[in-house]
Amino acid sequence: MKKVQSPYACHIFVCTNCHDDGEKSCSHGNSKKIREILKEEVRLRGWKGRVRVSETGCMGLCTAGPNVLIHPQNIWFSNVGEYDIEDILNHAKTIIGLSAR
């Protein structure tokens, strides 16, 4: 095993988990679309290579989903909708000192 420092200043995880049993999960809140928009915005802002957007499985708070986590700053967003994307990106920008578009 090799232990290295993350190459990203900020990693945004978007839960895209879907429960097969019909219970509420992040995917019911359009989390895949939220992830796509976040990825595109990171690219458009020139943050690629510094900010990574990834999908993740269950983060344990399904009923509060969709859930988004900014890591390593440990900022958690719940009940996220497309209207929250700009706020999430502003948090990332402020925390890691990136400039706006």
Taking the domains of the chain in order of start, what are their residue ranges? Answer: 10-95
* pLDDT of amino acid 98: 61
pLDDT of 61 higher than 70? yes
Q: What is the CA radius of gyration of the chain?
A: 14
Taking residues 45-69, report their average pLDDT.
91
Mean pLDDT of 59-64: 87
Superfamily of domain 10-95: Glutaredoxin (3.40.30.10)
Mean pLDDT (whole number) for 10-36:
87
pLDDT reading at 21 higher than 80: no
| Whole-number pLDDT of residue 32 | 94
Q: Which of 63, 61, 67 is nearest to 35 (CA)?
A: 67
Contact 34, 14 (CB under 8 A): yes
What is the pLDDT averaged over residues 71-81?
93
Mean pLDDT of 51-67: 91
For the chain, percent of residues with pLDDT exceeding 70: 95
Strand-pair partners of 53: 12
What global pTM score does this model have? 0.89
What span, in angstroms and rounded, lies between the C-alpha atoms of 55 and 13?
6
Alpha helices in 2-84 (DSSP H): 31-44
Angle (CA) 54 61 57, round 5°: 30
CA distances to 9, 43, 66, 74, 96 from 40, rounded to whole Å, are: 18, 5, 18, 22, 19
**26 within 8 A of 65, measured Cβ to Cβ:** yes
